[in-house]
Amino acid sequence: MRDIGPIHRQEYELADDRTEPVYIAEAPGRIHFLGEHGEPGAGFFLSSAIDRYVQVAISARKDNSLRFYASDLGERKRTTLVNLKYKREDRWANYLKIAIHVFADLGYPIKGLNFTVAGNIPQQAGLASSSAIEIATVIALKGFFKATISEKDILYRLTAAKTLFFGSSHSPVDYLIALSAKKDQFLTVDELSMRVKRVKSPLGKYKLLIMDSRVPRMGIDDELKQRRSEIKKGLKLLSGNNPEVSFRDFAAIDLVESMGNLSEDIRRRCLHIVREIRRVNDAEDSLKRSDFSLFSKIIYHSHESLRDLYEVSCPEIDWLVKRAQEQDGVLASRMTGYGFGGCTYTFIREDVVNIYKKRLEDYERIFGFSPIIYEVKLSGGTRLISGTVQERTEVKLPVHRVMELKIAKRSVIR
């Protein structure tokens, strides 16, 4: 990535000295290896941050305008605190507005501010590029205000603000991963308890490739909405409509025994979720024991489940996974993201990467799409990388705002 500091100073004609400080924060993209199609609000994931990032730079203005500059796109947007709301035409700038809303709602003095955003996270690939913009902006603003807000408060406040802005519920998992990630470590993330466990990666001799299939994804929102509806109906039937019960309270045998109460589609969706919970636990154990054979089987079984039970794969994605599975030196491969196209990931030995890429030339000939391959590593998390925070006066959080955090938490986490 280019150095965003000089870009920001040039865009807003700032002096290159301490009299006009610039605060810069960086947040990574993330990848889910297992678990992204799970029980809403109670997901269980094997994930990591990746070494593709978004950087956000912030500086003060002398007026009350909020200015936004996307240096990669050469686009500019503007608003004011009074007009701080979602606008479809503002696209990427809406994600920065969400973070501004968090601090305005907490009582911090939002006046005129300059923002610059840049990044190298692949777009529309299921790698949480928008969440990275939001969390990087929050951390930059935290540095700017020398704010006392904790990471837990950031999670709940940012999730509540995003839900308010877009009018639909959102999960704090991506923010949690961005704040918790460590270099060369896998994370098991429990959305229900918001707990994270880290596992040192034993896969040092393998590269991680992300393959963007370039398959156009149209109408997937309706398909995913249907899957979530089927999950909800299945859990309601299994639990006797008990809101305290989760899919974690069931085993695969429970669903087999309940076939008379569940339709075939609902049973398949629920069976995927119950088995995927077990796979996350088993994958964590296999990584701790460096059991590569077991880890490989878990990943492939998960893809088969997404294909056959949850039914969110497609022929192009299945072809990529199968071709990877046939290649010597490939440990594991699976789809990642929302499905119906999107990306696969592959753990592969470095000495066979070029052979693998050569074999994928058939993909474009067969399907007509030109795939993009990204080589990534397991990365560390969000950080403030520039800013003289001691130059700002600390702003204490009002007591009534602290109490509101409990309300925000209840509205986001079931």
CA distance 185 to 234: 34
CA distance 80 to 89: 16
- Tokens 């730079």 belong to which residue? 57
- Give the chain's largest Cα–Cα span: 72
Q: In what order do the strands lie in the sheet with 372-376?
A: 330-336, 343-349, 206-212, 372-376
Residue 237, token pair as written in the block: 């039937």
387-407 residues labelled b (16+ CB within 10 A) or e (exposed) = beeeebeeeebeeebeebbee
CA distance 186 to 285: 12
Of 216, 158, 172, 145, nearest to 42 by C-alpha is: 172
Residue 107, token pair as written in the block: 């009582």
On whether the CB atoms of residues 132 and 53 are closer than 8 A, the answer is yes
Among the options 3, 16, 63, 174, which is catalytic? 174
What three-state secondary structure class fits 203? coil
Q: Check if 221 is active-site.
A: no
Q: Where are the alpha helices (DSSP H) in 289-384?
A: 292-308, 315-326, 353-359, 361-367
On whether the CB atoms of residues 125 and 342 are closer than 8 A, the answer is yes
Of 91, 78, 88, nearest to 12 by C-alpha is: 78
Annotated catalytic residues are 174
